[in-house]
Amino acid sequence: MDATTPQRATDLPVQEIDVTTDTRDILAHANQGAKKRGLQDWLICDVDAHHVETVSWHELVEYIEDPVIRHQAMLFHKEKLGGAPYGLNGDMGLKYQDVGGRIPHQASLREKTEPGTHRDVTLTRRAMQSLGVDYMVLFPTPMLTLGLHPQPEMEVYLGRAYNRWLIDKVLSVDSRIKTLAYLPFNVPAEAERTIEEFADKPGVIGFCVPSTRHKPVHHNDYMRTYAMLEERGLPIAFHAAYHWQDASLATVNRFLGMHALGFVWCNMVHMTNWILNGIPERFPKLKSIWVESGLAWIPFLMQRLDDQYLMRPSEAPQLKKLPSAYMRENCWYTTQPMETSNMKALELTLEMINAESQLLFASDWPHFDFDLPQEIYDLPFLSEQAKRNILGLNAAKLFNLDPTPVKRL
């Protein structure tokens, strides 16, 4: 050590990260980590990231098809102060996502953006660059509970408006940003109409059913929707969320508990119905993706359903193999939030779901439990090929994307 001529330390430009901090500063370490691991040469597809569509709700309502509802919504946003976004039901729990202000990027991204480019394009590009992502699939946030709206037609109005607005303002601007378009699932005929209208639009690589809803996925009314998706080779994603109106979760008082259970429970119920009613047998080429429930629930449900099925096969007569076989062969899963507190359990989970072909990386940025691509890269028990598949190549195959990396770190 040369104590006589000390060098000068320099202050970091951001001393304390808050809601105004630029995404690139928040994620500076992520970018360094991606470069250090050489992810420039890896295809990275982020199959679940988010934007806050309600920031642009005043724009979005202009895309509502119904002229009367559109007029009402536009007047609402022009004249009312302090109201919630027009037509949204929302959930009280969203107030707690940022852990009482501890995680600023979850609370808000109020950074400066360039004039002339839509805010959501800029924020998404910054996140892609920082994380080292080639393609990012954007999902809405407050709209994830729209399936519980007491007026089913409101899901139709707002779901279609969202799809049109997103394509117009975001997807048509940057071909690296993709969507699984919103399906207004509570009105099956409108879900079919949505597929007809949006399947070939730029940036649409499949369709999404927000999972918080009380409609059974095996109802006969949905079979045409599934047939249409299967015929087009487009996946259907069930994106999890939670809601405090679920009677089975009514006693949960901590948001931690609600988030831990709610984001899994909705997809466990849908998956159980999906498998036991033989949807994969009826539509063997239909690819379902189970989004944002983490991974630890899958081994439990596989074992539980297998055990029960063998004792009661007469109650699931369409099945020709074990429930776990359908879950492993016909279903895809996104990684986030990947449970890592027991690495042996994680290793077994990835083996049980055949992660090498069925697992898709997801960051869930900018939410409080987001994951980085390096979480997959650093797993000690996977081959390099398995890591490459999970981080991007499985998604490229599933969504028919060019597997050549296009990002610049």
- Report the residue from 38, 84, 101, 397 that binds another protein according to the rule CB under 8 A: 101
Residue among 125, 203, 167 at smallest CA distance from 159: 167
Residues contacting 303, CB < 8 A, separation 6+: 324
Separation of alpha carbons 407 and 35, rounded Å: 12
Q: Whose Cβ is closer to another protein: residue 11's or residue 79's?
A: 11
Q: Whose Cβ is closer to another protein: residue 257's or residue 403's?
A: 257
Q: Chain centroid to CA 69: how far?
A: 28
Burial class (CB in 10 A: 0-12, 13-18, 19+), 200: exposed
132 counts as binding another protein under rule CB under 8 A: no
372 counts as binding another protein under rule CB under 8 A: yes
12 counts as binding another protein under rule CB under 8 A: yes
Separation of alpha carbons 109 and 51, rounded Å: 10
Across the beta sheet with 288-291, the strand order is 45-50, 135-139, 177-182, 204-210, 236-239, 288-291, 331-334, 359-360
> Are 320 and 355 in contact, with CB atoms under 8 Å apart?
no
> Are 241 and 211 in contact, with CB atoms under 8 Å apart?
yes
Per CB under 8 A, contacts with another protein among 32-71 are 33
Part in contact with another protein (CB under 8 A); list of ranges 27-35, 49-57, 77-85, 264-272? 27-35
Part in contact with another protein (CB under 8 A); list of ranges 28-36, 63-71, 112-120, 295-303? 28-36
26 counts as binding another protein under rule CB under 8 A: yes
Per CB under 8 A, contacts with another protein among 312-371 are 368-370
Part in contact with another protein (CB under 8 A); list of ranges 24-32, 205-213, 236-244, 323-331? 24-32
Burial class (CB in 10 A: 0-12, 13-18, 19+), 153: middle
Q: Whose Cβ is closer to another protein: residue 2's or residue 79's?
A: 2
Residues contacting 241, CB < 8 A, separation 6+: 91, 144, 145, 210, 211, 212, 262, 263, 266, 292
Angle at 21 between CA 179 and CA 61, to 5 degrees: 40
> Are 239 and 211 in contact, with CB atoms under 8 Å apart?
yes
Q: Whose Cβ is closer to another protein: residue 18's or residue 59's?
A: 18
103 counts as binding another protein under rule CB under 8 A: yes
Q: Whose Cβ is closer to another protein: residue 48's or residue 356's?
A: 48
Part in contact with another protein (CB under 8 A); list of ranges 5-13, 143-151, 285-293, 387-395? 5-13
- Report the residue from 15, 253, 314, 404 that binds another protein according to the rule CB under 8 A: 15
10 counts as binding another protein under rule CB under 8 A: yes
What character string, x for contact with another protein (CB under 8 A) and - otherwise, covers 212-251? ----------------------------------------
Residue 6 Cβ vs another protein, minimum distance, rounded to whole Å: 4
Residues that bind another protein in the complex, under the rule CB under 8 A: 1-3, 6-12, 14-18, 26, 28-29, 33, 99-105, 368-370, 372, 375
